[in-house]
Amino acid sequence: MLRTHTCGQLRAEHISQSVSLCGWVDSARDHGGAVFLDLRDRYGKTQVVASPEGGGLLVEAASRLRSEDVVRVVGRVELRPPGTVNSKLPTGEVEVRIEELEVLNKSRTPPFTPGQADMPNEDLRLKYRYLDLRRPQMQETLLLRSRMLEIIRAYFAEKQFVDVETPFLGRSTPEGARDYLVASRVFPGRFFALPQSPQLYKQILMVAGYDRYVQIARCFRDEDLRADRQPEFTQLDLEMSFVDADDVIGIIDGLIARLAKDILGIDLALPLPRMTYDDAMERFGHDAPDLRFGMELVNCTDLAGVCDFRVFRQAADTGGYVRGLNAQGAAPQFSRKRIDELTEYVKQDFGARGLAWFRVEPDGKLWSPIAKNFSESWLANLAERMEASPGDLLLFVADRWEITCKALAGLRKRLGSELKCYDPAQLHCSWVVEFPMFERDQEDQRWVAMHHPFTAPRPRDLRLLETEPERARAQAYDLVINGSEAGGGTIRIHDSRLQQRVFDLLGIPPEMAKERFGFLLEALQYGAPPHGGIALGIDRCVMLFAGRDSIRECIAFPKTQRAMDLMTEAPGEVDGRQLDELGLRVLPMI
């Protein structure tokens, strides 16, 4: 063995032992002829010392070492001299007096070092990801990820789930985002698709009688990227037979409670709280509200309809809404300049026409440049509706329902962070349930599935499919952690006739349904049980439990927001012979 111990293992009980350590040079210091090195590996750091007693050649060799050189040292463990103990390190009581030093690999001068205070931009860190992954924060995050996966697998094994791998190479069945296509050499002109999710396969497994399926699944979506999206990602995927929504939610409640306890030492009260989609949109303007703080939205449209302020009155008279929020105690912190910044924020990011505001004065009255447009009694009614107190800042958006939701939800999220309305270390988990079955596509005004086309409606809403599909609610449920959608699932349609009724509403005629999903529709006719499931985003859950700002910090080798791997320079060009074998040509982009 090259080493007898790791760099995080030695303690006072190892005094006088001869040990061998391997690792990277984290730092080097020359103190009057003795060279002190901090040797680092995944497990920690140990101070090793090359002193004149070991010989001049040893000291000279140690003095030539630089950051990130890989070395092996053999020596004796000693207590550090009085006054030099490093209480910040678990190994801080001891050091190793070097007797042998072997350079295993010299490092070039790195573009950055894992321990430096100011890290470079993300692109440089992704290009040299192998250096970035040496950072303690990155290693802590990936170790936490590994521990979470270990807990997840153990939990579902206890619950008698069967771990089944589903194919990467399947048929293209459009589910919203673009598929990643793989050309077939054996069948020229035909293509496999990488899975956006194992949705159809796991439903087939329920038809096949496996009752409880689980998988840590890799998924691929060729979609426009955001800070919390990746073209390839990992999800916890599961499906259960003979269940309703409460059964699936209960299983995940138990999992989240286990993770919170084992990873963070937090005891979550079960069952996790739930609210309907309609309630979430009314109170928070978003279907994944952050419930670590209040600042709920308030509908003031009825008041707006009886005032003389043209902006409010026009919104109310034309079917729009006037809604607002109360940033309690925030008025002293927001100058006119900062309020103007908030106004531009809701206009530029969410398409709102503007932002009306009132400051609550010490006497409880509302002041604003627009206050002259309202009677005192009207302003008093508004103050009562908003539960206003001196020092509060009241903010309003007058627009269509969708715009008021987006603008005020965005504003609420920004103010919650800026005003420090919650403890960042707090963990709040909840469910949003009873989503609409359908929503209108804004381009061609056709119905599209809010979740996916295999989602079952609530039994009492079956009649609405023919008469008022916009009112039909789905057996759908999303897990929300700290204002982020951590996962989503549904009870599936297990009757082929009902499935075709839903396809008809979505503009998928029988011949198209057979072409796209024929194997599933046929399977549903061979004794399909009632079933449902859920998928949780592993990358996002790690981000939330680790307190990171981006899922790229929680994936070993992520892509950029342009879906590029800067380290390997993927995607790249391929040899022309490979294209010839596949019968493909590369055409210039128009």
pLDDT tens digits, residue range 267-312? Answer: 999 999 999 999 999 999 999 999 999 999 999 999 999 999 999 9
pLDDT greater than 90 at residue 32: no
| pLDDT band at residue 413 under the 50/70/90 scheme | very high
Q: Scanning the structure block, which residue is given the tokens 């092996």?
A: 72
Contact 217, 234 (CB under 8 A): yes
How high is the pLDDT of residue 227?
65
Q: Which residue has the higher pLDDT, 441 or 395?
A: 395
The b-or-e profile of 291-323 (16+ CB within 10 A means b, else e) is: bebebebbbbbebbeebebebbbebbeeebbbb
Tokens of 40: 């680092």
Burial class of 88 by CB neighbour count within 10 A (0 to 12, 13 to 18, 19+): exposed
| pLDDT band at residue 10 under the 50/70/90 scheme | very high
Contact 316, 377 (CB under 8 A): no
pLDDT greater than 60 at residue 353: yes
pLDDT greater than 70 at residue 176: no
DSSP state, 584?
-
pLDDT greater than 60 at residue 538: yes
How high is the pLDDT of residue 299?
98
How far is residue 264's CA from residue 257's CA, in Å, rounded to a whole number?
10
Within 8 A by CB and 6+ apart from 552, the residues are 122, 126, 230, 558
pLDDT tens, 418-477?
Answer: 999 999 989 999 999 999 999 887 677 788 888 888 999 999 999 999 899 899 999 999
Dihedral sign for Cα atoms in the order 423, 429, 434, 437: positive
Q: Which domains does the chain have, with CATH numbers?
A: 12-105 (2.40.50.140), 117-264+530-590 (3.30.930.10), 293-418 (3.30.1360.30)
Contact 285, 298 (CB under 8 A): no
AA letter at 529 = P
Kindly report the pTM of this predicted structure. Answer: 0.92
Going by C-alpha positions, the residue among 409, 198, 388, 381 that lies closest to residue 303 is 381
Query: Which backbone phi and psi does 290 adopt, to 5 degrees?
Result: -85, 110
3-state secondary structure of 522: helix
How far is residue 47's CA from residue 93's CA, in Å, rounded to a whole number?
10
How far is residue 162's CA from residue 472's CA, in Å, rounded to a whole number?
34
Mean pLDDT to the nearest integer, 175-186: 87
Strands (E) in 257-410, as ranges, are: 274-276, 298-299, 321-327, 356-360, 366-367, 393-399
Strands of 212-220's sheet in order across: 162-163, 212-220, 232-241, 531-537, 484-491, 476-481, 429-433, 274-276
Pairing of strands 181-183, 94-105: unpaired
Mean pLDDT to the nearest integer, 489-510: 91
List, in sequence order, the alpha helices (H) in 263-400. Answer: 277-284, 301-304, 310-317, 336-350, 376-385
Going by C-alpha positions, the residue among 70, 57, 40 that lies closest to residue 100 is 57
Going by C-alpha positions, the residue among 490, 491, 512 that lies closest to residue 503 is 512
Contact 431, 250 (CB under 8 A): no
How far is residue 152's CA from residue 259's CA, in Å, rounded to a whole number?
8
pLDDT greater than 60 at residue 175: no
| Average model confidence (pLDDT) across the chain | 94
Going by C-alpha positions, the residue among 237, 148, 16 that lies closest to residue 545 is 148
How high is the pLDDT of residue 87?
94
How far is residue 316's CA from residue 304's CA, in Å, rounded to a whole number?
6
Contact 244, 491 (CB under 8 A): yes
Q: What percent of the chain has pLDDT over 70?
A: 99
How far is residue 33's CA from residue 54's CA, in Å, rounded to a whole number?
11
Tokens of 495: 């009757």
Q: Helix %, strand %, coil % for the chain, to 5?
A: 35, 25, 40
How high is the pLDDT of residue 225?
67
How far is residue 36's CA from residue 98's CA, in Å, rounded to a whole number?
10
pLDDT greater than 70 at residue 398: yes
Going by C-alpha positions, the residue among 84, 229, 128 that lies closest to residue 567 is 128
pLDDT greater than 70 at residue 396: yes
Contact 552, 489 (CB under 8 A): no
How far is residue 293's CA from residue 421's CA, in Å, rounded to a whole number?
6
How far is residue 547's CA from residue 503's CA, in Å, rounded to a whole number?
41
pLDDT greater than 70 at residue 174: no
How high is the pLDDT of residue 527?
94
Upper half-sphere CA count for residue 546 (Cβ side, 13 Å): 26
Conformational region of residue 151, where left means phi above 0, alpha means psi within -120 to 50, and beta covers everything else: alpha
- Secondary structure of 140-199 as H, E, C letters: HHHHHHHHHHHHHHHHHHHCCCEECCCCCCECCCCCCCECCEEECCCCCCCEEECCCCCH
pLDDT tens, 54-105?
Answer: 889 999 999 999 999 999 999 999 999 999 999 999 999 999 999 999 999 9
- CA triplet 449, 451, 454: central angle to 5 degrees? 75
Contact 557, 129 (CB under 8 A): yes
**Angle formed by the axes of helices 336-350 and 401-418, to 10°?**
130
Pairing of strands 232-241, 212-220: antiparallel
How high is the pLDDT of residue 471?
93
pLDDT tens, 189-208?
Answer: 999 999 999 999 999 999 99
How high is the pLDDT of residue 442?
67
How high is the pLDDT of residue 589?
80
